A and B are shown apart, each in its own frame.
Chain A
Amino acid sequence: MKQELARRCLSKLMGWDLERARKEFAWLDLISRLKYDSYRGYFAGARFVESLLDWLQQFESAEREIAYRFVRERLVFVGSSELQHLVELFYPETVRDLLSAAIASEASIARYLVWSRDDLKAAYARLLRQTLFLGISDGARLDTFRRVNVGVIRNEQVVPTIEMDEPRWTSLTKDLRKALGDDEAQFRFIFLVDDFTGSGLTLLRREEKGAWTGKLVRFWDSVKKRITDGSVAKDFHLVVHHYLASAHAVGTIPSRAGDAAKERGADWYPSVDYRFGATLPAHLPISKDKEPDFVKVLDDHYNPAIMTPSMKVGGDDGRLGFAGCGLPIVLEHNTPNNTVAIVWAEQERAEGHPEMRPLFRRRQRHL
């Protein structure tokens, strides 16, 4: 659709007068070019303004202004440059910090002194080589991470998935030992990396029957075999790093993981650390108390058919997004399911429930 036509239809749909149209067109032009048109779920001819027009049409005229105000004032779009920045910070702010702390602790000295002694600098280099970086999902951007740390981290230390078969582990271990010239060398640090966490439930949660499940559990089942075969050190350190996290996730993940560690005893990681590149403000989520009008729009335009089995992991009601997180967030490459459903859900009208049209169509990773 032509941009001009889309704007004309939008102006008509919203009933904007000249002044309002002028103000909104200026904003739409700016924000589309600066951010929203780069959303990877869009394609030529149907980018932000066209999607916004289509999205607003699903609402009654009185609701449209409320929905538009949400987009204008509450939506948070994390663009590629912001994410790139968080990826670039990962090594200097998190990896180097933890590894140098480990070296300093082993040598019983202050951390800053690590860089003043050649033997400790060598120990740091060795420990860095004994570190693995694994992607929890395809949002982990380990390709970018590898490129920005070229010459510091080798390709053989970076794997885009946590689900590795035995030959892959063997190959990684062989490369490590060859690089260090040490047939006994083991991996001592493993970083699990992901782009975003809203609730932390995908990572670790308790099933109805009381057992623990999630990606951390699955990875433990895999990595403990590597401890047995000597690829991974018995006292290895696991770091789970998210570039971006909700305040809720930052507050709950460590305590939930603490419960898991306590209950599982020896059948758990020897030590785990949780790190977050940036934390979204605690006041960000949508709530009925703060925005009753918008929450009513969410209620009136919610179709329970969007609840896939993976969505149900977070509860039976998805109008505020997975696990009721109520986030107004969109990432440049996808929209998290923790975001309010009206932003990303796509569902046909059925059984008395309304059609849901997405503004930022979500590519489902979990069905």
Chain B
Amino acid sequence: MDNPFLKRATEYYRDEEAFLAVISPEPIRYFLREAKKGSLYEKLVNIRGTPGSGKTTMAKVFEYPALSALLRNSSIATYGELVDTMTGCGAIVDGKLEVLGCRLPLETDYREVWEFDYPENIKLTLTTTLLQARAVLAWLRHLQQDGYDLADVRIDARPDADAALTAIGGTAGTSLLERARQIERALYKVVGALVPPELGQLDDIVTNAYRPFDVIDRIVVRSKEGEERRLKPLVILDDAHALHPAQFRGLQLALIRREIRVARWILARLDVLHPKEAFEALTEDRGDETQMPGVTASRDYLPIMLQSLDERRKHRVAFRRMAMDMASRYLLQMEIFRARSLQRLENLLGNQVPPLPKSKVEELARHVDAAQRRLKISDSRRGELKSAVDAYTPEGMTQVPPELQLAMLSVLMHRMEKRGQAGLFDLDLPEPASKLPKVDSAVLGAARIHLLHRYDRPYYVGIEDLCDASSENAEQFLRLSAELVEISAVNIIRGKPALLEPSVQHEKLREKATHVVQEWDFPRAKQVRKVVESLAAMCLQKTLEPNAPLGAGANAYGILQEEFEAIPDRHPELAQLLQAAIANNALTVVPRHSCKNKEWCLLELGGIVVMRHGLTLKRGGFLEGSASALASMVREGA
């Protein structure tokens, strides 16, 4: 039984049609079409995200072979949405391709260039020249593979670039290819040499100017019927975090220049940034001048973060939609579900949590009675609280189950105590009704999480929890889903219902979360694990306070915004650790969170960590902390 949920990385799909079949248009629509309409092919586009956030997948859709396959199959209904999205992105215009995209993974030999004992400007020239030659080769190769003869390919050059045009081989496809091959071959000889040549011994061909990105405006192809199409060349530099930081910054500066006509995107993980830069990017206070003089983000390049910074609720909803769409596409690949018309993951995840056994409800009732006695709450006051609980029916529920009502009652009684209901000398004084604590979703949330920890009542249940636990990371969502999908398939094989009981979902997700945290192997994973586990333990302690001051509890650590921004300068070690944690979904930064008339920056625990420790997925509850306290936690090994 093949489980496509386990085959997340889209690089593994060799066939374009197979690749397109699992592509959800949602992230492209959300990040590229709606947010950034119009600028995708003009300025440098910087796309940053955590591993598994879908950078490469998006890039692959914009590659010429994928777009070409999409148009070939555009009459197939399942591709309709994607065609529509790509049209919205301007990659397809009037049902025809507008963009000639190529993706260059930078994980190959570019980094080696930076190891040479040459001046930085020479190393940067070698890097950009190699990239440009390979981009030209890739564009022409894509066209040839699509059946075009190079004799029918030419470029439209910028009118004022005669000398540069000659240097790249002229306008004809064949001469362009020949020149790009010569350049690539010569550079490869240098890059691949065991001992790089002395600077003075570099071939002229390597050091001479070769800047096709400055020259090429459009790539013009003529079909066999004589119809001409003018395609916008697009180069997507993937995995740019593999470059040396200085090389990365140099490349960015080189590609920012406005005279470049070629559309260019740089895709990188957050790790590539200098901690200060990363923190500024995360808080959207990009003082890029510090790193790139004279460059302004909004004016000179287009930053796209595949992580929620603003409009978090909207982002979460969008991610849920995307994740469900993606899961449906993957389920369709599995015969066992397809044959039974089980096409929606949400339909496999039951969310009706079964009632606790009678003995446990009775035990809980005894606990509540004991709490009443301990808190010295009168029967009449308890009766009032109970009536309020009985009257409460949240949206989507016909009735709150008895165990939840009891747990809610317990929370309310403890809240009464905190309000000073039962002083030492006023045991029997009736309290005014206005002092009754409010019964709301926060109390219900607290009751649910208290029951999780007291009676292991299933908590992480249903598609929304699954999506939210994924920290808006597609790969994480698929990893978690793979587990549940596999169990559902095994159930079907065993002749059992495909629907997964809440207890199974909850147990398996928590097991998987524990496994994932234990298996972290990114840089500084050990330290990150220690710190997030300490933070989670603190959050759990707060969550389990009987009066549930934060409702469903805490899942974040708050630092005053100005303190957070000063972390790279004041606590560089902490800055590096936080950057690694954020880059790998262990933490999410929520900047400028207003609370108690102060501006906080929240370090929200990733969904996986939250599940492992039995915390709430609901956002907003945080522990008030400080950068110095966190720094000392790091220093002391958490």
Contacts and interface: CB of A to CB of B under 8 A. Distances in A.
Interface string B478-500: 00000000110011111100000
A43 B490 CA distance: 25
Interface in A125-167: none
Interface string A3-31: 01001100110001010011001100100
A21 B492 CA distance: 11
Interface residues of A, number: 12
B312 to A, nearest CB: 36
Interface in B455-493: 486-487, 490-493
B469 to A, nearest CB: 21
Given A22-B486, A29-B1, 16 more contacts: A4-B336, A4-B492, A4-B493, A8-B493, A8-B494, A8-B495, A11-B494, A12-B495, A18-B490, A18-B491, A18-B494, A18-B504, A21-B490, A21-B493, A25-B1, A26-B486
Contacts of B491: 18
Interface in B414-457: none
Contacts of A8: 493-495
Interface residues of B, number: 11
B238 to A, nearest CB: 31
Nearest to B492: A4
A29 B491 CA distance: 16
Contacts of B487: 18, 22
A11 B1 contact: no
Nearest to A17: B494
Interface in B1-27: 1
B234 to A, nearest CB: 39
Contacts of B490: 18, 21-22, 25
Interface in B319-349: 336
B436 to A, nearest CB: 46
Nearest to B504: A18
Contacts of A11: 493-494
A366 to B, nearest CB: 40
Nearest to A22: B490
B370 to A, nearest CB: 37
Contacts of A12: 494-495
Contacts of A25: 1, 490, 493
Contacts of B495: 8, 12
Contacts of B486: 22, 26
B494 A21 contact: yes
Interface string B490-517: 1111110000000010000000000000
A26 B504 CA distance: 19
The 5 closest A-B pairs by CB, nearest first: A7-B493, A22-B490, A11-B494, A8-B493, A21-B490
B512 to A, nearest CB: 13
A16 B495 CA distance: 12
A18 B486 CA distance: 11
Contacts of B492: 4
A16 B494 CA distance: 9
A11 B492 CA distance: 12
Contacts of A26: 486
A8 B495 CA distance: 7
Nearest to B339: A4
A309 B549 CA distance: 85
A25 B486 CA distance: 10
B500 to A, nearest CB: 10
Interface of B: 1, 336, 486-487, 490-495, 504
A244 to B, nearest CB: 32
A21 B493 CA distance: 9
A105 to B, nearest CB: 41
Interface string A211-240: 000000000000000000000000000000
B487 to A, nearest CB: 6
B494 to A, nearest CB: 5
B511 to A, nearest CB: 10
A26 B485 CA distance: 13
A25 B488 CA distance: 13
A29 B336 CA distance: 14
A317 to B, nearest CB: 40
Nearest to A16: B494
Nearest to B2: A29
A8 B496 CA distance: 10
Contacts of A29: 1
Contacts of B494: 8, 11-12, 16, 18, 21
14 contacts: A4-B336, A4-B492, A7-B493, A8-B493, A8-B495, A11-B493, A18-B487, A18-B490, A21-B493, A22-B486, A22-B487, A22-B490, A25-B490, A26-B486
B287 to A, nearest CB: 51
Nearest to B1: A29
Most buried by B among A11, A22, A26: A22
Contacts of B1: 25, 29
A22 B493 CA distance: 10
A25 B336 CA distance: 14
A8 B486 CA distance: 15
Contacts of B493: 4, 7-8, 11, 21, 25
B22 to A, nearest CB: 20
A20 to B, nearest CB: 10
A4 B336 CA distance: 8
Residue from B487, B493, B495 having most chain A Cβ neighbours under 10 A:
B493
A11 to B, nearest CB: 5
Interface in A237-270: none
Q: Which of B486, B491, B495 has the most CB of A within 10 A?
A: B495
Contacts of A16: 494
A32 to B, nearest CB: 11
Contacts of A7: 493
A18 B504 CA distance: 10
A25 B2 CA distance: 11
B343 to A, nearest CB: 18
Interface in A293-318: none
A25 B487 CA distance: 11
Nearest to A10: B493
Nearest to A3: B1
Interface in A328-351: none
B506 to A, nearest CB: 14
Contacts of A18: 487, 490-491, 494, 504
B490 to A, nearest CB: 5
Contacts of B336: 4
B212 to A, nearest CB: 46
A29 B6 CA distance: 15
A58 to B, nearest CB: 23
A7 B489 CA distance: 11
A29 B1 CA distance: 6
B275 to A, nearest CB: 42
B507 to A, nearest CB: 10
A115 B504 CA distance: 68
Interface string A157-188: 00000000000000000000000000000000
A5 to B, nearest CB: 9
A202 B494 CA distance: 47
Interface string A39-65: 000000000000000000000000000
Could you say which of B1, B491, B492 has the most chain A C-beta atoms within 10 Å of its C-beta? Answer: B1
B417 to A, nearest CB: 44
A186 to B, nearest CB: 52
Contacts of A4: 336, 492-493
Nearest to B490: A22
A194 to B, nearest CB: 38
A34 to B, nearest CB: 13
A26 B2 CA distance: 9
A12 B490 CA distance: 12
A16 B504 CA distance: 17
A16 B336 CA distance: 20
Among A16, A18, A26, A29, residue most surrounded by chain B Cβ atoms (within 10 Å): A18
Nearest to A25: B490
Nearest to B496: A18
